[in-house]
């Protein structure tokens, strides 16, 4: 049964977006290319797409919120609580103002989303969402969802890789159930996530994403709606009820593959990549970090 937002809420607008390029010029620091929702209209549309009126008990765990434009919109749209995870110093003042005005409806933690903070946040250490309970995997978690604006960099790819892997292994936030995600991603990154076999954009994370979750494009408002002005789009990512990629079980890396292992990765099917992954897990000398640079900057010069 649909329920409307239980409370009338109000929060002051964020500072004028004309000032964002000056105040948040550190968004390019350390190669992170931090892109944040800047347009209030786009933030409101994104929050509306999350349908809080149908989930009055649902809180949000938001990673990389930046100044908090989307944070504000989600709270006003009816999120029970918004917990932000942001380590950028330039954003702390804006998030603190939202936290104070919301009287606890918004809470910010100065932690890195890349440091796997979810068990600490949701566990007894911080107890950020006190009434959150574990739910069966058969249905989508009704009381929490994960939202974010993924950095346009290899750090962003690492974050996506870790989240998708955690959803398959039911670790971190996914210990609490089948948590759906709404993620803003650079358009090329989103294209790679959804790239089918045989297409130029397909890479390792394409296969991981296919194995882990169902993805739907929600909106692509255009670069002027973001700081920095990159062409980002919003994806809804829902973990599969039955993930299509399982754990280890083979004893040879290549010798017993059922297909020609010289085939290029973009032509591999999910089943072929799964076979490689199973055998790879048993290789004693395997590297532990396998991040491709899937981020293609629009102004990058061709070599």
Would the pLDDT of 94 be above 60? Answer: yes
Regarding whether 206 and 101 lie in a shared domain, the answer is yes
Per-residue b/e over 192-208, b at no fewer than 16 CB within 10 Å? bbbbebeeebbbbbbbb
User: Residues 24, 36: contact at Cβ < 8 Å?
Assistant: yes
Would the pLDDT of 264 be above 80? Answer: no
User: Residues 212, 240: contact at Cβ < 8 Å?
Assistant: yes
Q: Is residue 272 part of a domain?
A: yes
Any residues with CB less than 8 A from the CB of 290 and at least 6 apart, and which? 204
Question: Which domain range does residue 259 map to?
Answer: 246-285
- pLDDT, residue 204, reads 85
Percent of all residues in the chain with a pLDDT value above 70, rounded to a whole number? 83
108 bridge partner residues:
84
**pLDDT tens column, 37-57:** 999 999 999 999 999 999 999
Taking the C-alpha atoms of residue 83 and residue 61, their distance in angstroms, rounded to an integer, is: 5
pLDDT mean over 172-182: 96
Q: Is residue 219 part of a domain?
A: yes
Q: Which two tokens mark 265?
A: 């990765």
pLDDT mean over 123-147: 96
- pLDDT, residue 25, reads 86
User: Residues 139, 132: contact at Cβ < 8 Å?
Assistant: no
Tokens 């083979």 belong to which residue? 250
Regarding whether 279 and 169 lie in a shared domain, the answer is no
**pLDDT tens column, 139-162:** 999 999 999 999 998 889 889 999
Q: Is residue 77 part of a domain?
A: yes
- pLDDT, residue 251, reads 39
Tokens 């950095």 belong to which residue? 151
Would the pLDDT of 293 be above 50? Answer: no
**CATH no. for residue 194?**
3.40.50.150
- Euclidean distance between the first and final Cα of the chain, in Å? 56
Domain count, the chain: 2
Could you tell me the pLDDT band of residue 13, with boundaries at 50, 70 and 90? very high
Q: Is residue 145 part of a domain?
A: yes
């Amino acid at each position: 049964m649909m329920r409307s937002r239980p409370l009338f809420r109000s929060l002051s607008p964020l500072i004028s977006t004309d000032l964002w390029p000056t105040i948040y010029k550190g968004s390019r620091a350390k190669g992170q290319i931090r892109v944040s929702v800047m347009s209030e209209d786009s933030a409101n549309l994104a929050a509306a797409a999350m349908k809080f009126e149908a989930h009055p008990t649902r809180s949000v765990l938001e990673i990389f919120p930046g100044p908090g434009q989307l944070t504000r919109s989600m709270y006003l749209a009816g999120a029970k609580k918004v917990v932000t995870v942001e380590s950028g110093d330039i954003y702390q003042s804006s998030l603190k103002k939202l936290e104070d005005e919301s009287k606890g409806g918004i809470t910010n933690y100065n932690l890195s989303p890349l440091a796997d903070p979810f068990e600490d946040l949701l566990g007894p250490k911080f107890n950020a969402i006190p009434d959150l309970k574990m739910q069966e995997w058969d249905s989508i978690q009704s009381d929490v969802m994960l939202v974010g604006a993924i950095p346009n960099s290899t750090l962003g790819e690492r974050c996506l890789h870790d989240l998708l892997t955690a959803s398959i292994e039911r670790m971190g936030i996914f210990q609490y159930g089948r948590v759906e995600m709404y993620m803003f991603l650079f358009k090329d990154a989103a294209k790679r996530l959804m790239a089918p076999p045989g297409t130029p954009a397909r890479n390792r994370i394409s296969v991981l994403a296919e194995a882990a979750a169902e993805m739907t494009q929600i909106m692509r408002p255009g670069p002027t709606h973001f700081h920095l002005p990159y062409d980002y789009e919003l994806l809804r990512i829902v973990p599969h009820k039955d993930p299509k990629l399982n754990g280890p079980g083979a004893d040879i890396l290549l010798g017993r593959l059922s297909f020609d292992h010289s085939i290029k990765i973009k032509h591999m099917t999910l089943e072929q990549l799964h076979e490689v992954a199973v055998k790879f897990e048993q290789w004693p000398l395997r590297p532990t970090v396998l991040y491709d640079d899937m981020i293609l900057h629009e102004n990058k010069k061709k070599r």
